[in-house]
Protein backbone atom coordinates (compact mmCIF):
# COMPACT_ATOMS: atom_id res chain seq x y z
CA UNK A 1 0.00 0.00 0.00
CA UNK A 2 2.61 2.54 -1.10
CA UNK A 3 0.00 5.24 -1.79
CA UNK A 4 -2.39 4.71 1.10
CA UNK A 5 -4.80 7.65 1.40
CA UNK A 6 -2.87 9.83 -1.10
CA UNK A 7 -5.04 11.86 -3.49
CA UNK A 8 -3.61 11.53 -7.01
CA UNK A 9 -5.24 13.25 -10.00
CA UNK A 10 -4.87 11.67 -13.45
CA UNK A 11 -5.71 13.43 -16.72
CA UNK A 12 -7.23 11.29 -19.45
CA UNK A 13 -7.84 8.33 -17.14
CA UNK A 14 -11.03 7.18 -18.86
CA UNK A 15 -9.19 4.56 -20.93
CA UNK A 16 -5.81 3.31 -22.10
CA UNK A 17 -2.66 4.00 -20.09
CA UNK A 18 -4.42 6.54 -17.85
CA UNK A 19 -6.92 3.89 -16.81
CA UNK A 20 -4.00 1.47 -16.29
CA UNK A 21 -2.18 3.73 -13.83
CA UNK A 22 -5.49 4.56 -12.12
CA UNK A 23 -6.02 0.83 -11.48
CA UNK A 24 -2.48 0.33 -10.21
CA UNK A 25 -2.60 3.30 -7.81
CA UNK A 26 -6.09 2.48 -6.51
CA UNK A 27 -4.96 -1.09 -5.80
CA UNK A 28 -2.10 0.39 -3.78
CA UNK A 29 -4.37 2.57 -1.65
CA UNK A 30 -4.42 5.92 -3.49
CA UNK A 31 -7.55 8.02 -3.75
CA UNK A 32 -7.68 8.44 -7.50
CA UNK A 33 -9.12 11.39 -9.42
CA UNK A 34 -10.22 10.05 -12.79
CA UNK A 35 -10.51 13.08 -15.07
CA UNK A 36 -11.39 12.84 -18.74
CA UNK A 37 -13.11 14.83 -21.48
CA UNK A 38 -15.30 11.75 -21.84
CA UNK A 39 -17.42 11.76 -18.67
CA UNK A 40 -18.95 8.38 -19.41
CA UNK A 41 -15.64 6.50 -19.50
CA UNK A 42 -14.33 8.47 -16.50
CA UNK A 43 -17.37 7.49 -14.45
CA UNK A 44 -17.15 3.85 -15.59
CA UNK A 45 -13.49 3.61 -14.55
CA UNK A 46 -14.14 5.25 -11.17
CA UNK A 47 -17.14 2.99 -10.58
CA UNK A 48 -15.14 -0.14 -11.32
CA UNK A 49 -12.30 1.01 -9.03
CA UNK A 50 -14.76 1.67 -6.21
CA UNK A 51 -16.51 -1.68 -6.84
CA UNK A 52 -13.12 -3.38 -6.50
CA UNK A 53 -12.66 -1.84 -3.03
CA UNK A 54 -10.60 1.17 -4.11
CA UNK A 55 -11.32 4.87 -3.77
CA UNK A 56 -11.95 6.96 -6.89
CA UNK A 57 -13.79 10.08 -8.02
CA UNK A 58 -14.72 10.91 -11.62
CA UNK A 59 -14.63 14.33 -13.28
CA UNK A 60 -15.60 15.34 -16.79
CA UNK A 61 -13.61 18.25 -18.21
CA UNK A 62 -11.67 19.50 -21.18
CA UNK A 63 -8.31 19.64 -19.42
CA UNK A 64 -6.77 21.67 -22.23
CA UNK A 65 -8.73 24.56 -20.75
CA UNK A 66 -7.01 26.14 -17.78
CA UNK A 67 -10.13 26.96 -15.80
CA UNK A 68 -11.55 23.47 -16.26
CA UNK A 69 -8.35 21.83 -14.96
CA UNK A 70 -8.40 24.18 -11.95
CA UNK A 71 -12.07 23.39 -11.30
CA UNK A 72 -11.34 19.64 -11.36
CA UNK A 73 -8.35 19.98 -9.02
CA UNK A 74 -10.42 22.08 -6.63
CA UNK A 75 -13.29 19.58 -6.64
CA UNK A 76 -10.90 16.66 -6.16
CA UNK A 77 -9.14 18.40 -3.25
CA UNK A 78 -12.57 18.93 -1.69
CA UNK A 79 -13.56 15.28 -2.26
CA UNK A 80 -10.26 13.61 -1.36
CA UNK A 81 -7.98 16.13 0.37
CA UNK A 82 -5.02 18.20 -0.85
CA UNK A 83 -3.25 16.59 -3.80
CA UNK A 84 -0.09 14.51 -3.47
CA UNK A 85 0.46 14.07 -7.21
CA UNK A 86 -0.78 14.89 -10.67
CA UNK A 87 -0.30 12.62 -13.67
CA UNK A 88 -0.38 14.42 -17.01
CA UNK A 89 -1.44 11.60 -19.31
CA UNK A 90 -4.20 13.07 -21.55
CA UNK A 91 -3.47 13.29 -25.24
CA UNK A 92 -4.99 13.17 -28.71
CA UNK A 93 -3.06 11.02 -31.15
CA UNK A 94 -2.98 11.78 -34.88
CA UNK A 95 -0.27 10.60 -37.27
CA UNK A 96 -0.34 12.26 -40.69
CA UNK A 97 1.96 13.82 -43.29
CA UNK A 98 2.99 17.37 -42.47
CA UNK A 99 0.98 18.96 -45.29
CA UNK A 100 -2.24 17.39 -43.99
CA UNK A 101 -2.02 18.97 -40.52
CA UNK A 102 -4.93 21.41 -40.18
CA UNK A 103 -5.22 24.27 -37.76
CA UNK A 104 -8.12 22.46 -36.11
CA UNK A 105 -6.15 19.23 -35.54
CA UNK A 106 -3.06 21.06 -34.31
CA UNK A 107 -5.08 23.19 -31.89
CA UNK A 108 -6.84 20.11 -30.53
CA UNK A 109 -3.62 18.13 -30.10
CA UNK A 110 -1.68 21.02 -28.54
CA UNK A 111 -4.56 21.75 -26.19
CA UNK A 112 -5.14 18.17 -25.01
CA UNK A 113 -1.51 17.05 -25.07
CA UNK A 114 0.63 20.06 -24.16
CA UNK A 115 -1.43 22.92 -22.72
CA UNK A 116 -3.09 20.46 -20.34
CA UNK A 117 0.36 19.70 -18.87
CA UNK A 118 0.88 23.37 -18.00
CA UNK A 119 -2.59 23.59 -16.45
CA UNK A 120 -2.09 20.30 -14.61
CA UNK A 121 1.10 21.60 -13.04
CA UNK A 122 -0.47 24.93 -12.09
CA UNK A 123 -3.62 23.33 -10.69
CA UNK A 124 -1.48 20.91 -8.69
CA UNK A 125 0.55 23.78 -7.23
CA UNK A 126 -2.68 25.53 -6.24
CA UNK A 127 -4.20 22.49 -4.54
CA UNK A 128 -1.29 20.39 -3.32
CA UNK A 129 -0.49 19.15 0.13
CA UNK A 130 2.29 21.57 1.13
CA UNK A 131 3.26 19.41 4.09
CA UNK A 132 4.35 16.46 1.93
CA UNK A 133 6.61 15.74 -1.03
CA UNK A 134 4.81 16.45 -4.28
CA UNK A 135 4.95 14.48 -7.51
CA UNK A 136 4.33 15.39 -11.11
CA UNK A 137 4.50 12.63 -13.72
CA UNK A 138 4.36 13.52 -17.42
CA UNK A 139 3.77 11.16 -20.35
CA UNK A 140 6.30 11.63 -23.13
CA UNK A 141 7.29 9.06 -25.76
CA UNK A 142 10.25 7.48 -27.57
CA UNK A 143 9.32 9.73 -30.53
CA UNK A 144 10.81 12.62 -28.54
CA UNK A 145 14.26 11.21 -29.42
CA UNK A 146 13.72 10.41 -33.10
CA UNK A 147 12.52 11.96 -36.30
CA UNK A 148 9.77 9.54 -37.28
CA UNK A 149 7.97 10.54 -40.49
CA UNK A 150 4.30 11.58 -40.24
CA UNK A 151 4.38 12.29 -36.51
CA UNK A 152 5.09 16.05 -36.64
CA UNK A 153 2.42 17.31 -34.27
CA UNK A 154 2.64 14.38 -31.87
CA UNK A 155 6.45 14.41 -31.71
CA UNK A 156 6.52 18.17 -31.17
CA UNK A 157 4.23 17.74 -28.17
CA UNK A 158 6.12 14.79 -26.68
CA UNK A 159 9.52 16.51 -27.16
CA UNK A 160 8.03 19.63 -25.56
CA UNK A 161 6.95 17.57 -22.56
CA UNK A 162 10.46 16.10 -22.29
CA UNK A 163 11.92 19.61 -22.16
CA UNK A 164 9.31 20.95 -19.76
CA UNK A 165 9.91 18.03 -17.39
CA UNK A 166 13.59 18.98 -17.07
CA UNK A 167 12.76 22.65 -16.57
CA UNK A 168 10.24 21.86 -13.85
CA UNK A 169 12.57 19.40 -12.10
CA UNK A 170 14.92 22.33 -11.57
CA UNK A 171 12.21 24.90 -10.90
CA UNK A 172 10.07 22.90 -8.48
CA UNK A 173 12.64 20.59 -6.90
CA UNK A 174 13.57 23.20 -4.27
CA UNK A 175 9.90 23.22 -3.23
CA UNK A 176 9.93 19.47 -2.55
CA UNK A 177 8.26 18.45 -5.79
CA UNK A 178 9.73 15.71 -7.98
CA UNK A 179 8.96 16.02 -11.70
CA UNK A 180 9.59 13.04 -13.96
CA UNK A 181 8.47 11.70 -17.32
CA UNK A 182 7.96 8.29 -18.82
CA UNK A 183 8.38 7.19 -22.40
CA UNK A 184 6.12 4.21 -23.01
CA UNK A 185 6.86 2.41 -26.27
CA UNK A 186 4.51 0.50 -28.54
CA UNK A 187 1.60 -0.28 -26.24
CA UNK A 188 -1.69 -1.13 -27.98
CA UNK A 189 -4.48 1.12 -26.60
CA UNK A 190 -7.70 2.57 -28.07
CA UNK A 191 -5.63 5.59 -29.22
CA UNK A 192 -3.32 3.57 -31.41
CA UNK A 193 -6.02 1.29 -32.91
CA UNK A 194 -6.70 3.62 -35.83
CA UNK A 195 -3.02 4.05 -36.69
CA UNK A 196 -1.34 0.70 -36.03
CA UNK A 197 -2.92 -2.57 -37.20
CA UNK A 198 -2.54 -5.84 -35.26
CA UNK A 199 -0.26 -7.05 -38.08
CA UNK A 200 1.93 -3.98 -37.74
CA UNK A 201 2.14 -4.57 -33.98
CA UNK A 202 3.29 -8.14 -34.70
CA UNK A 203 5.95 -6.78 -37.05
CA UNK A 204 7.04 -4.21 -34.48
CA UNK A 205 7.44 -6.90 -31.83
CA UNK A 206 10.05 -8.59 -34.01
CA UNK A 207 12.26 -5.47 -33.91
CA UNK A 208 11.82 -4.61 -30.21
CA UNK A 209 14.78 -5.99 -28.24
CA UNK A 210 12.47 -7.77 -25.75
CA UNK A 211 10.50 -9.14 -28.74
CA UNK A 212 7.04 -8.04 -27.62
CA UNK A 213 4.84 -4.98 -27.39
CA UNK A 214 4.12 -3.41 -24.01
CA UNK A 215 0.97 -3.59 -21.89
CA UNK A 216 -0.78 -0.93 -19.79
CA UNK A 217 0.37 -2.95 -16.75
CA UNK A 218 4.04 -2.66 -17.79
CA UNK A 219 3.62 1.10 -17.96
CA UNK A 220 1.56 1.38 -14.76
CA UNK A 221 4.09 -0.52 -12.65
CA UNK A 222 7.02 1.62 -13.77
CA UNK A 223 4.98 4.83 -13.42
CA UNK A 224 3.92 3.83 -9.91
CA UNK A 225 7.57 3.29 -8.99
CA UNK A 226 8.44 6.85 -10.05
CA UNK A 227 5.55 8.18 -7.96
CA UNK A 228 6.48 6.12 -4.92
CA UNK A 229 8.82 6.98 -2.07
CA UNK A 230 11.21 4.34 -3.44
CA UNK A 231 12.05 6.93 -6.11
CA UNK A 232 12.59 9.69 -3.52
CA UNK A 233 15.83 10.96 -5.14
CA UNK A 234 14.71 10.66 -8.77
CA UNK A 235 13.91 14.06 -10.24
CA UNK A 236 13.95 15.15 -13.89
CA UNK A 237 14.25 11.61 -15.25
CA UNK A 238 12.75 10.28 -18.45
CA UNK A 239 12.15 6.58 -17.84
CA UNK A 240 11.91 4.45 -20.97
CA UNK A 241 9.28 1.71 -20.66
CA UNK A 242 9.79 0.40 -24.15
CA UNK A 243 11.50 -2.99 -24.17
CA UNK A 244 14.68 -1.32 -25.38
CA UNK A 245 13.40 0.68 -28.39
CA UNK A 246 15.16 3.93 -27.49
CA UNK A 247 18.38 2.19 -26.50
CA UNK A 248 18.63 0.04 -29.60
CA UNK A 249 17.35 2.62 -32.09
N1 LIG B 1 -0.06 3.82 -26.27
C2 LIG B 1 1.22 4.02 -26.53
O3 LIG B 1 1.89 3.19 -27.17
C4 LIG B 1 1.93 5.24 -26.04
C5 LIG B 1 3.29 5.39 -26.33
C6 LIG B 1 3.96 6.51 -25.88
C7 LIG B 1 3.28 7.47 -25.15
N8 LIG B 1 1.95 7.32 -24.89
C9 LIG B 1 1.31 8.38 -24.13
O10 LIG B 1 0.55 7.84 -23.06
C11 LIG B 1 -0.60 8.65 -22.83
C12 LIG B 1 -1.86 7.82 -22.90
O13 LIG B 1 -1.94 7.23 -24.18
P14 LIG B 1 -3.10 6.22 -24.57
O15 LIG B 1 -2.54 5.38 -25.67
O16 LIG B 1 -3.65 5.59 -23.35
O17 LIG B 1 -4.18 7.25 -25.20
P18 LIG B 1 -5.81 7.17 -25.22
O19 LIG B 1 -6.24 8.03 -26.36
O20 LIG B 1 -6.26 5.74 -25.21
O21 LIG B 1 -6.22 7.87 -23.87
C22 LIG B 1 -6.16 9.25 -23.75
C23 LIG B 1 -7.31 9.73 -22.88
O24 LIG B 1 -7.22 11.17 -22.81
C25 LIG B 1 -8.53 11.70 -22.92
N26 LIG B 1 -8.47 13.08 -23.41
C27 LIG B 1 -8.18 13.50 -24.66
N28 LIG B 1 -8.28 14.85 -24.73
C29 LIG B 1 -8.62 15.28 -23.49
C30 LIG B 1 -8.87 16.56 -22.94
N31 LIG B 1 -8.78 17.68 -23.69
N32 LIG B 1 -9.23 16.66 -21.63
C33 LIG B 1 -9.35 15.53 -20.89
N34 LIG B 1 -9.11 14.29 -21.35
C35 LIG B 1 -8.75 14.16 -22.65
C36 LIG B 1 -9.23 10.77 -23.88
O37 LIG B 1 -10.66 10.89 -23.80
C38 LIG B 1 -8.70 9.41 -23.45
O39 LIG B 1 -9.51 8.82 -22.46
C40 LIG B 1 -0.54 9.77 -23.88
O41 LIG B 1 0.08 10.91 -23.34
C42 LIG B 1 0.32 9.16 -24.96
O43 LIG B 1 0.96 10.13 -25.75
C44 LIG B 1 1.27 6.24 -25.32
Please indicate whether residue 92, judged by its CB atom, sits closer than 6 Å to ligand 1: yes
Please indicate whether residue 141, judged by its CB atom, sits closer than 6 Å to ligand 1: yes
Q: From the CA atom positions of the chain, what is the Rg in Å?
A: 17
pLDDT for residue 82:
98
Residue with CA closest to ligand 1 atom 2: 187
Is CATH 3.40.50.720 the classification given to domain 7-248? yes
88-100: per-residue pLDDT in tens?
Answer: 999 999 999 999 9
Round the average pLDDT of the chain to a whole number and report it. Answer: 97
Distance from the CA of 131 to the center of ligand 1, in angstroms? 31
pLDDT for residue 62:
99
Residue of 189, 204, 216, 218 with the most ligand 1 atoms within 8 Å of its CB, for mutation: 189
pLDDT for residue 194:
85
Residue 25 confidence (pLDDT) above 90: yes
pLDDT for residue 193:
85
Q: pTM surpassing 0.85?
A: yes
Residue 15 alpha carbon, nearest atom of ligand 1: 39
Residue 189 confidence (pLDDT) above 90: yes
pLDDT for residue 26:
98
Amino acid sequence: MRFSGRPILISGAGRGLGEGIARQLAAEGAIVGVADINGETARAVARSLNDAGGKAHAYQADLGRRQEFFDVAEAFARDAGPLRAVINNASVLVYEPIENVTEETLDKMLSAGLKSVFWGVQAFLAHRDESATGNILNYSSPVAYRGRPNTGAYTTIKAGIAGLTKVLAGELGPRGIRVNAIAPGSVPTPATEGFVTPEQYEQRAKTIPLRRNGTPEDVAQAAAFLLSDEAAFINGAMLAIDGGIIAAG
